[in-house]
């Protein structure tokens, strides 16, 4: 195999973003993927029955349209079509439902007396996403835009148990925010757990919560086509076990978490840096079920029947209790369940008249417990008769997810805890955070800032850091 300017290990969204950034800068690039197909956390496959296409991990993509890097890609020319559900998000409660609409005005109308407060919190942030996005999805939280940073940062610093209680008087708005914040996997008593709720909420208003036609695989397939148009090469089915195996190059970017990097680098790493990587903290895992359905989920709420995403967990207090239990190593009796209904809006996902459903809950790190009954009990609570429309299930616990993708250590799909101690200092306190003590070797996974999600920004920033170092040699 010939020499390249750069070699990227891992063909997920971050690895491909890194490769594209380097290729755009005129570097020759090779991407190496261990699996037989590219994709990482954005693969799609027939997991249940023939003709039912399921997103294996990521499913709904506000950051696919909101990421400063992703927005530079010519999606239409690459054959990627983004679909906007009628309603981005619905949140059922025992006495109705709240809904996050693209329009702040429509969202406010669904929240009654808390509508004006919702608009005050989210509307100014959503209006300035193009300037705020690069700050929030950058390698550090500093910016000359002190006004925007303060408007976001002051409420974002609050625990998710506190901000919605201060901002809203009614349960609908509080529950809607709680479901957004629960994407953080954090205990709601932790500072900055509100940051995730604010980010996802304002993205819903700024760009929506879209889905790619045909499945999440379409995103990485489009990125791969773009990389190849720039002259980049890819090879699949090559599981790299040591850095010594890699072709000679000036730059090596690794879409791996600290645990895999420790294995790849071996004794090459200085003892102090190695110890810091060994202390890196991974978070809770997931238990996921993919369903083949004979018909749509029979939600009581009309908003839920029109939503791409449904947050199933009840009130703020219930969701907070669920996330607290998980972070304390306990299984929640009533878990918070994230549900995606792609086939309502994308006819390619299932045979005519039938549907897919994507659902997961958080579990303690490494848990192998079966949460099928708990998940279905929660959905049945708001959609009586749900079990009657199930044709087949595909179940994956945290251990299954780690076998599927070694980056999901203990089932942690975010590449590590994203709390105040380990958000901008991931994987260690170092500048730039993507660099390692090994010359020319950089990390570009979700274990680097800004963390988990299909946004490509970890790869983009890592590649930029590599190019900066290369120019100084």
Per-residue pLDDT at 360? 98
- 10 Å CB burial of residue 237 (0-12, 13-18, 19+) is exposed
CA angle 123, 127, 128 (to 5 degrees): 125
Q: What is the pLDDT of residues 224-251, one digit of tens each?
A: 999 999 999 999 999 999 999 999 999 9
Domains observed in the chain: 6-47+54-59+216-280+414-472 (3.50.50.60), 82-209+284-404 (3.90.660)
* Local confidence pLDDT in tens for the 473 residues of the chain: 568 999 999 999 999 999 999 999 999 999 999 999 999 999 999 999 999 999 999 999 999 999 999 999 999 999 999 999 999 999 999 999 999 999 999 999 999 999 999 999 999 999 999 999 999 999 976 655 666 777 898 999 999 999 999 999 999 999 999 999 999 999 999 999 999 999 999 999 999 999 999 999 999 999 999 999 999 999 999 999 999 999 999 999 999 999 999 999 999 999 999 999 999 999 999 999 999 999 999 999 999 999 999 999 999 999 999 999 999 999 999 999 999 999 999 999 999 999 999 999 999 999 999 999 999 999 999 999 999 999 999 999 999 999 999 999 999 999 999 998 998 899 999 999 999 999 999 999 999 999 999 999 999 999 999 999 987 65
Other CB atoms within 10 Å distance of the CB of residue 169: 12
Both tokens assigned to 375: 């998940």
* C-alpha–C-alpha distance, residues 39 and 405, integer Å: 10
pLDDT of residue 215: 98
- Enumerate the H helices of 266-361 as residue ranges: 271-278, 316-327
Classify residue 27 as exposed, middle or buried by CB count within 10 Å of its CB (0-12, 13-18, 19+).
buried
**Residue showing tokens 């976001």:** 152
Query: 154: which 2 tokens?
Result: 């002051």
Instruction: Give the integer Cα–Cα distance in Å for 315 and 268.
Output: 50
Cβ-based neighbour number of residue 191 at 10 Å: 15
Tell me the C-alpha distance between 305 and 277, whole Å. 45
**pLDDT value of position 1:** 59
Tokens of 291: 């369903």
Is 341:308 a contact under the CB 8 Å cutoff? Answer: yes
What's the pLDDT at 403?
95
Task: Compute the distance between CA of residue 163 and CA of residue 141 in angstroms, rounded to an integer.
Answer: 20
CA torsion, ordered 207, 213, 217, 221, to nearest 10 deg: -90
- Sign for the CA dihedral angle at 302, 307, 313, 316 comes to negative
Please give the pLDDT value at position 33: 97
C-alpha separations of 401 from 114, 360, 408, 451 in Å: 39, 12, 6, 18
Residues pairing with 33 in the sheet: 236
Q: What is the pLDDT of residue 140?
A: 78
For residue 390, give the 3-state DSSP assignment.
strand
């Amino acid at each position: 195999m010939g020499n390249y300017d750069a070699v990227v290990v891992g063909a997920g969204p971050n690895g491909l973003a890194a490769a594209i950034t380097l290729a755009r800068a005129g570097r020759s690039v090779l991407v190496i993927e261990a699996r037989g197909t590219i994709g990482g956390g954005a693969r799609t496959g027939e997991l249940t029955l023939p003709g039912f296409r399921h997103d294996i991990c990521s499913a709904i993509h506000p950051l696919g349209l909101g990421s400063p890097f992703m927005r530079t890609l010519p999606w239409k020319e690459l054959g990627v079509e983004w679909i906007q559900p009628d309603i981005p998000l619905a949140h059922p409660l025992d006495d109705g439902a709240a809904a996050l609409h693209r329009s702040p005005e429509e969202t406010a109308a669904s929240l009654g007396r808390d509508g004006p407060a919702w608009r005050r919190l989210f509307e100014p942030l959503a209006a300035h996403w193009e300037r705020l996005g690069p700050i929030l999805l950058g390698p550090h939280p500093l910016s000359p835009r002190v006004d925007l940073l303060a408007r976001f940062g002051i409420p974002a610093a609050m625990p998710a148990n506190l901000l919605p209680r201060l901002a809203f008087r009614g349960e609908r708005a509080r529950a809607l925010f709680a479901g957004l914040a629960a994407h953080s996997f954090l205990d709601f008593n932790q500072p900055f757990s509100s940051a995730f709720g604010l980010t996802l909420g304002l993205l819903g208003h700024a760009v929506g919560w879209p889905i790619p036609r045909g499945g999440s695989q379409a995103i990485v397939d489009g990125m791969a086509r773009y990389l190849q148009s720039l002259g980049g090469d890819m090879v699949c089915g090559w599981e790299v076990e040591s850095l010594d195996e890699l072709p000679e190059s000036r730059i090596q970017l690794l879409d791996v978490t600290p645990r895999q990097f420790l294995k790849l680098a071996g004794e090459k790493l200085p003892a102090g840096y190695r110890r810091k990587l060994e202390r890196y903290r991974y978070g809770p895992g997931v238990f996921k079920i993919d369903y083949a359905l004979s018909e749509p989920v029979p939600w009581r709420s009309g908003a839920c029947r029109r939503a791409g995403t449904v947050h199933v967990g009840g009130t703020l207090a219930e969701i907070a209790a669920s996330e607290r239990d998980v972070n304390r190593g306990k299984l929640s009796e009533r878990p918070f369940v994230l549900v995606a209904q792609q086939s309502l809006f994308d006819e390619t996902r299932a045979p005519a008249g039938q549907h897919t459903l994507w659902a997961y809950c958080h579990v303690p790190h490494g848990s192998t417990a079966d949460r099928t009954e708990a998940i279905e009990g929660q959905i049945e609570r708001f959609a009586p008769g749900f079990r009657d429309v199930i044709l087949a299930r595909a179940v994956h616990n945290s251990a299954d997810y780690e076998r599927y993708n070694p980056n999901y250590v203990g089932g942690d799909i975010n590449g590590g805890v994203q709390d105040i101690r380990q958000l901008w200092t991931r994987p260690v306190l170092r500048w730039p955070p993507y660099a390692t003590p090994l010359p020319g070797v950089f990390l570009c996974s979700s274990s680097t800032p800004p963390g988990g999600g299909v946004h490509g920004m970890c790869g983009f920033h890592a590649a930029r850091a590599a190019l900066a170092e290369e120019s100084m040699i």
